[in-house]
Structures are given as structure tokens and as C-alpha cells.
Amino acid sequence: MDQVESIDSGARPDRTSGRALLSGGALLALAMLGANGGNYVLNLLLGRWLSPAEFADANLMVTLMLLVTAVAAPLQLVAARYVGMHDAAGTLDQGAAVVSWLYRRAAMGGLLLAIVIGGPAPLWRTVFNTASPWPFVLLAVGMPAYLTQAVRRGTLQGHLRFGPLAASFLAEMFGRLGVAAGLVAAGYGVSGATAGLSASFIVTWVVVRILQPPAPGGSLGREAVRDLRRYMAPTAVFLIGQILINNGDVLVVKMAFPGEAAGVYSAVALMGRAVFFLSWSAVATLFPAVAHREASGSDTDTLLVGGLAVVGTACGGMVAAAALFGDVLFRSILGPEYAAAESMLVSYATATSLFAVANLVVTHQLSMGRTVQSHLLVMGAVGQTVSVIVVRASMAAVVNAQVLAMSALAAVLLGSVLFEIRARPTTLGS
């Protein structure tokens, strides 16, 4: 049966107003902070309860899950855009049909991933040198729910229902923390931690289904399907670039520096990326709102300006906090062995802030179907990775290279948008 969003067609207030978007973004920010805080607590517990070898196996399962995000995230963004467009245009049947189409393919993709991950589990155990094949099987169990819940979240996002969307993130965190911590404490080790991952996906699927009951959807015409597929490609390109920027430097440092130094850098990355996750709520709010306004013929530039103001203020505050309290944070929470990380935190937070700005610009353009900036971001991701490889003489040089690369990327993306805005009168008058 097609699982799609039921839509209230009654009158409702304008959810794309500045006040509504600000309150929705603030709610999402609080939920994301709570969810990330819960995940940090779980990582701390696993680090204390598991042996180093077990902890490495558990981190491998998390890494595999993050790789699957490259599939799940485009599904959510595509659902959010098209649901938002059809919601604003009043073509509710077509919005439901899009969700139905995406849901079916997410379910098939989830089953395929489950087979690929869980079927050859003994082979993966040998390839990755893990203690047991069972974690791969347990992770596979959650794959169908992981991909389909992404479509469900996209429908909530597209309808600007930020309260239920925020609740879904908290439900995922509590499900993961409760199941994983309980099973690991009971002696189930890596299998228990992995079961927590899969359980959190299933919990999220159930919660979103309750918050937004499914309704039957219609069918899509060939042209609509072709349009969907054309849009999914640049969306995937954008997210591949995002993953490369967020993770490429850590991989390079792990290969170039000894274990202890790489651990210090990982701590910097863990703290510094809190800036990016804090800005994610603004991105999640902006994306469907732009699609709504574009479909209704309203101005979308003000949303970009407002989003940049919010992200700039939040990131500026985080960088200032890193400068003022970074040394206290590392010494009190992580210990004196991480003292070397203090000098890099502000620069890393600055690089992450610039990436948050770039990410917001690309999201704004992508929500209107403009794909040039997605390709520019991938070029920036490749440029950053190459520069990090070239200047890997020290960890400080790696961080400084990222500041330069992200400064250039943010400047190019903002310049491209300004160029498009200035070109509009000429285009309209031709």
C-alpha cells in the first residue's frame, strides 16, 4: 500500500511568514541540540563500557549508517520540495502522488540495502575485521525503515510542520539512546549498540506515521516522473559534496598523522562541527519555505537574506564561544591530553561557519530547481580535499587550508547568486 501524507485542505495561517519560520527554526534548533546531545551521551557511554576493539566495531556501524545518509537525505529533500510546491499551488493530489512514488522506491531501496549489508555478513566480517557478523545483520534490519522514514520526514518538512518534525528527531535520539545503552549495559556489546541504531529508525518510522497518518496517493505522469529524476541527480551531487567537506579532512588526518595526533584532531572536528549542526535547522526551515513561495509567485530573496542573518548570528556566536571558552571545554571535558586542540578550535569553527553559509546558499537555490551552485559546491569540496592533502605538514596547516577553501567557496556562491539577482531585470525585459 502507498504510504503518503494526509493533507488538511482547510484554511490555515501563512506558515511562510518571517515570524512563523523563525519560531519553526528555533524549535528545530532546540530539537537538534537535544538530539545531538543525546548522541554525544551515547558515544561517551560506549567509550566507557566497550573495549577499544569493540568501540571500533561500533563506530564502523555508525559510519556505514552515515554513508547510507547519501541515499536517505536526497529522498527527504526531494519530498520536501515537491510537497511544498504542490501544497502552495493547491495541487494536493499531485503532492500525494509524489510522496507515494518516492515512498515505494525508498522501500525497495531499503530492502536492497538490507540484502547487501545483511546477506554477506560473514564476508563483511572478514573484510572489516570485526569480531562478529551479527552487527551487520542487525544494521540491515533497520534499512527499510531508515529510507522510508526519510520520505515521511520530507513530507512534514514540505508542509512546514516543524513541531512534528522536531519531535521525530527527539524520538529517534531517545529510541537509540534507550535501546543501545540498555542492551550494552546488559552485556550485548556491539550487537546491542547496533540494535539501538536500527531500533531508532523503526521508532522514527512509527512516530512520523502517527503524527501524520498515511493517505492514498494518485499516480504520476511520465513528465512528472522525469522531472523528479532530473531533480534528484543534482540533489545527490550536493549531498555528496557536503559529505566530502564534512569528512574528507578527518580521513586525510587519520592517514597522515599518528593515532594520538589524529585523536586530537577528531576532537576538534567533533566540537567544531557543532556549528554546522546548529545551522542545519535554518536550512531545514528555508528549503520548503522557498518552494512554497516560489510556487505561489512570492519573493524568495528575503528568505535567503533572513536565513543568512540567522546562520551568521548563530555561527558568529559559536566562534566567539570557542574563542572564550574553548580551553575550558577541552580541559574539563576531554582532559589535558587534548590541550593541543585549543589553538585549532577557533579556526576550525570559522571554516565550519563559512561552510554553513555556503550550504544555506546552495539549499536556497536547489529548492527552486537551480543546480549550478550544487556543482560549485562539489568543486569546492574537491578543492578543499586536494588542498588538505597538499598542506598536511601539520594539523594547523590542514585547518588553515580549510578556512581558505571555505572562504573562497562562500564568496563564489554568494557572488553567483548576486549575479543572478542582478540579471533578472535584463532577462525579464528581453
Nearest C-alpha neighbor of 287 from the set 360, 234, 212, 374? 360
Report the alpha-carbon distance of residue 312 to residue 206 in Å, rounded.
Answer: 35
Report the alpha-carbon distance of residue 271 to residue 325 in Å, rounded.
Answer: 12
> Given this model, what pLDDT does residue 133 score?
95
Instruction: Give CA 256 to chain center in angstroms.
Output: 27
Q: Please answer whether residues 136 and 124 qualify as being in contact, where contact means their C-beta atoms are separated by less than 8 angstroms.
A: yes
Report the alpha-carbon distance of residue 399 to residue 38 in Å, rounded.
Answer: 28
User: What sign has the CA pseudo-torsion 326, 331, 333, 336?
Assistant: positive
Q: Which three cell numbers stand for residue 376?
A: 560549485
First to last CA, the chain: 49
What phi, psi does 142 have (nearest 5°)?
Answer: -85, -5
Q: Tens digit of pLDDT per residue, the chain (430 long)?
A: 444 444 444 444 566 666 666 677 678 878 877 887 788 788 778 877 888 778 778 878 887 887 787 788 888 888 988 888 888 777 778 888 899 999 999 999 999 999 999 999 999 999 888 899 999 999 999 999 999 999 999 999 888 888 999 999 999 999 999 999 999 999 999 999 999 999 999 999 999 999 877 766 667 788 888 888 888 888 888 888 888 888 778 777 767 776 567 667 777 777 777 777 777 777 778 778 887 787 777 778 888 888 898 889 988 988 998 888 877 776 776 667 667 777 888 999 999 999 999 999 998 888 888 888 999 999 999 999 999 889 877 888 999 999 999 999 999 999 999 988 887 655 444 4
User: Exposed, middle or buried, 19 (CB in 10 Å: 0-12/13-18/19+)?
Assistant: exposed
Nearest C-alpha neighbor of 257 from the set 161, 349, 147, 395? 395
> Given this model, what pLDDT does residue 8 score?
43
The secondary structure of residue 185, as a DSSP letter, is I
Find cell 519560531 and name the residue. Answer: 23
Supply the pTM of this predicted model: 0.76
**3-state secondary structure (DSSP) of residue 68:** helix
Report the alpha-carbon distance of residue 288 to residue 294 in Å, rounded.
Answer: 10
Q: Which three cell numbers stand for residue 353?
A: 561557519
Q: Which three cell numbers stand for residue 280?
A: 542545519
What are the residues whose beta carbons fall under 8 Å from the beta carbon of 329, sequence distance 6 or more? 271
Give helix then strand counts, H and E, for the chain. 15, 0
Q: Please answer whether residues 380 and 329 qualify as being in contact, where contact means their C-beta atoms are separated by less than 8 angstroms.
A: no
Find cell 536547489 and name the residue. Answer: 366
Q: Which three cell numbers stand for residue 341?
A: 586542540
Instruction: Give CA 151 to chain center in angstroms.
Output: 14
> Given this model, what pLDDT does residue 430 score?
40
Neighbours of 142 (CB within 10 A): 28
Instruction: Give CA 39 to chain center in angstroms.
Output: 14
What are the residues whose beta carbons fall under 8 Å from the beta carbon of 243, sequence distance 6 or more? 66, 69, 70
